[in-house]
Amino acid sequence: MSLKEKFLSDMKEAMKEKNVLRKNTIQLVRAAVLQKEKDTLQEVSDEQILDILVQEVKKRKDALIDFKKAERQDLIEETEAELAVLSTYMPQQFSEEDLLKIIQKIIGEVGATSMKDMGKVMTLLTPQVKGRADSSQVSRIVKECLTKQ
pLDDT at residue number 131: 81
Prediction pTM value: 0.78
pLDDT over threshold 70, residue 91:
yes
- Digit-coded pLDDT (tens) for 43-69: 999 889 988 998 999 999 999 999 999
Residues 39 and 107 in one domain: no
Q: What is the CATH number of the domain that holds 106?
A: 1.10.10.410
- Digit-coded pLDDT (tens) for 2-22: 889 999 999 999 999 999 999
Range of the domain at 25: 3-87
More confident of the two residues 131 and 124:
124
Residues 62 and 125 in one domain: no
Distance CA(56)–CA(53), nearest Å, equals: 5
Mean pLDDT of 109-137: 87
The tally of domains found in the chain comes to 2
Residues 10 and 70 in one domain: yes
pLDDT over threshold 70, residue 149:
no
Q: Which long-range contacts (CB under 8 A, 24 or more apart) does 17-23 make?
A: 21/78, 21/81, 21/82, 21/85, 22/85
pLDDT at residue number 112: 85
Mean pLDDT of 101-111: 90
Residues 31 and 100 in one domain: no
CB 115 within 8 A of CB 76: no
Distance CA(39)–CA(85), nearest Å, equals: 26
Q: What is the CATH number of the domain that holds 58?
A: 1.10.1510.10
